[in-house]
Amino acid sequence: MQAQNNHGIQGHEAPEIELDYWIDANGDPGDFSVQQARGKWVFLKCFQDWCPGCHSSGFPTLQQFSERFHDHPKVAIAAIQTVFEGFTSNTQEDVRKLQLRYELPITMGHDPGDEKTHARPVTMRAYRTGGTPWLILINPAGVVVFNNFHVDTGKLIEYVAEQVG
């Protein structure tokens, strides 16, 4: 069980994610909706291009999970660049570059935040993320069942595999 803290919304209904920029697995304009993914397990990964932890653990977790579930009918996967610092280093263009670099056949989005006001990206505020890399797992009923920086990738994959049969 996850310790209670000020971050995350575990146990709560997952809010919709409304972004202006999404690309599909081929890098073409795309879309993602938590509501439309109801009935599926949803894996959301928040990242920033310049985040060392994203490259050392976040993207490897995303790669392993994607390799196992990207084409599973009961699983939806998306990754979102949630920019809350380094605004000129974490750009919309970087999303596609990272998708190619890590060979991710998934939908990816860009949530830019606001450099002038320092407002956090809408996804970070809605999900109360603690930064990046941040993992959110939503069950088919639309409830957040896990959210944290750290995850045992093997146990996560095993858990979801058991749930989807």
The tens digit of pLDDT for each residue in 19-71 reads 999 999 999 999 999 999 999 999 999 999 999 999 999 999 999 999 999 99
CA–CA distance, 18 with 8 (Å, rounded to integer): 18
End-to-end alpha carbon distance in the chain: 23
Domain membership of residue 9 (yes or no) is: no
Domain membership of residue 1 (yes or no) is: no
The answer to whether 129 touches 149, Cβ cutoff 8 Å, is: no
CA–CA distance, 46 with 164 (Å, rounded to integer): 23
Domain membership of residue 59 (yes or no) is: yes
Domain membership of residue 149 (yes or no) is: yes
**pLDDT tens string 116-155:** 888 899 999 999 999 999 999 999 999 999 999 999 999 9
Coil/strand/helix, residue 107: strand
Domains: count for the chain: 1
pLDDT at 76 exceeding the cut of 70: yes
Domain membership of residue 5 (yes or no) is: no
DSSP string, 11-41: TSBPPP---SEEE-TTSSB----TTTTTTSE
Domain membership of residue 145 (yes or no) is: yes
Question: How many residues would you count in the chain?
Answer: 165
Q: What is the CATH classification number for the domain harbouring 38?
A: 3.40.30.10
pTM over 0.85: yes
